[in-house]
Structure 1
């Protein structure tokens, strides 16, 4: 029984390392998609950043809740992403000051766009498919 517990811990540790790497790679790709958007085809320039942001959210939930199911990670990621987008409907000075900082803008966004919900769903779907194919 101790051997099984140790191997389970090792498996979870290995998955956490992979999710951590996925988060870092996704952040780098997301920042690059914003910085070098002029080098991308129009479709990617318009959609990649939001999709990658949602993928990073998904990998973050997988990292934090390693024992949870794939469907739980998808649900949490959708709730979080949609919640952040809907929070952009709230426009008060204090939160807009946060949104005007680089970090605040990257996390909270600037303004509500319905199309972002589709982009988030697509990013989470892509991340969960990658997760299922690579790690499961």
Structure 2
């Protein structure tokens, strides 16, 4: 169990690094970063809830991604201040986009397909 958590932790770190890199390299489409965000969320939830079945992990992680995206429609001064920090921008984003919702769905679908192949 502990070795699985270590693997998930390393994967989360790798996906975060790739996601940040995808924002720095201009030839990589922005959607790739959002797909990686969903993959990272899936891996993070699996890390935290290691025993949970992959489809439940997918449902939870996709719900979190959707919630964060929808929360971008809310613009109170306190949350905008958080979004103006580097970490806040990476975690919370800035503006709602339907294309981000599609990217999160694609990223989660990739995780589901990968885990379905393992079974």
Same fold (TM over 0.5): yes
Question: Which ranges in structure 2 are unaligned for 5 or more consecutive residues?
Answer: none
CA distance in 1, matches of 2:13, 2:82: 23
Listed as ranges, the matches of 1:41-120 within 5 Å are: 44-120=28-104
Tell me if structure 2 keeps the 8 A contact 1:34–1:49.
yes
CA distance in 2, matches of 1:20, 1:88: 27
CA distance in 1, matches of 2:35, 2:64: 14
- Equivalent residue for 1:23? 12
Q: Point out 4+ residue stretches in structure 1 off by more than 2 angstroms.
A: 127-134
CA distance in 2, matches of 1:130, 1:102: 31
- Equivalent residue for 1:4? none
Question: Which ranges in structure 1 are unaligned for 5 or more consecutive residues?
Answer: 1-11
- Residue 19 (structure 2) pairs with residue 13 (structure 1): no
- Summarize deviations over 1:59-95 as a string: whole Å, max 9, x none: 0000000011111101101110000000001111110
Relative to the length of structure 2, the TM-score reads 0.93
